[in-house]
Amino acid sequence: MKGLAPKSNIKAWVDRKAFIHNLGHATAAYYGHFLHPMMTYTYEILEDRKVFDFTRKVMMQSAEVLNRVYSEDLPMKELENHVDDLLNRFRNRALQDTIFRVGQDLIRKLAPDDRFMGAIQLAREEMMPYDLIVKAMAYGFFFDAKDEAGKPYAADDEFLASVSADIETAITGKLNMNNTDHKDIIRTLQNLYLQIKNSH
């Protein structure tokens, strides 16, 4: 079959999808919406160099971790080319991909087994930096984008209300993190949340 490339280590490619593609998409949505709450489309926010550069740096930090874990399957140069190709695709106006669609469903996307925490966990196992990844994740706590009818995603609305009330309870209760496995990440997210909130 033309274009079909069999892989012996499928986990490397599943992780690449989650921790580069999905991670980058959500990063652009969360940081972009924070800076440009009135914008609708992903391509619009990525026209801002600050959003583009931050998103690329987050994706590359995750790519470096993946290269360490899967060095034979995912060479660094190929990962860098993949990041740049994805960013070009994210900027495709013809897709009309909304920031709302890309970022919605916060409880799933910020969960311990999804894009941000999955990449962070790999980085921790390899004793590699993840400061940019966790910062991108923290912008998710401010993601209140609306759909094209002007309505929020109901579960996200409830989650953001719980974040405003008590972020630690929101992280442990809604995202199912715990103070045994995730203690330092919870503290880091709390600190970043306050920093971002106070900088706005």
3-state secondary structure the chain: CCCCCCCCCHHHHHHHHHHHHHHHHHHHHHHHHHHCCCCCEHHHHCCCHHHHHHHHHHHHHHHHHHHHHCCCCCCHHHHHHHHHHHHHHHCCHHHCCEHHHHHCCHHHHCCCCCHHHHHHHHHHHCCCCCHHHHHHHHHHHHCCCCCCCCCCCHHHHHHHHHHHHCHHHHHHHHCCCCCCCCHHHHHHHHHHHHHHHHHC
Q: Which pLDDT does position 179 carry in this prediction?
A: 86
**Domain CATH code at residue 129:** 1.10.1040.10
Q: Model confidence over 5-50: pLDDT tens digits? A: 555 678 999 999 999 999 999 999 999 999 999 999 999 999 999 9
Q: Which pLDDT does position 4 carry in this prediction?
A: 46
- What total of structural domains would you count in the chain? 1
Q: Which pLDDT does position 200 carry in this prediction?
A: 73
Q: Which pLDDT does position 10 carry in this prediction?
A: 84
Establish if 4 belongs to a structural domain. Answer: no
Establish if 22 belongs to a structural domain. Answer: yes
Establish if 2 belongs to a structural domain. Answer: no
pTM (global) more than 0.85? yes
- The residues of the chain scoring below 50 in pLDDT are 4
Establish if 3 belongs to a structural domain. Answer: no
| Range(s) of the domain holding residue 42 | 10-199
Q: Which pLDDT does position 115 carry in this prediction?
A: 96
Q: Which pLDDT does position 2 carry in this prediction?
A: 60
Establish if 71 belongs to a structural domain. Answer: yes
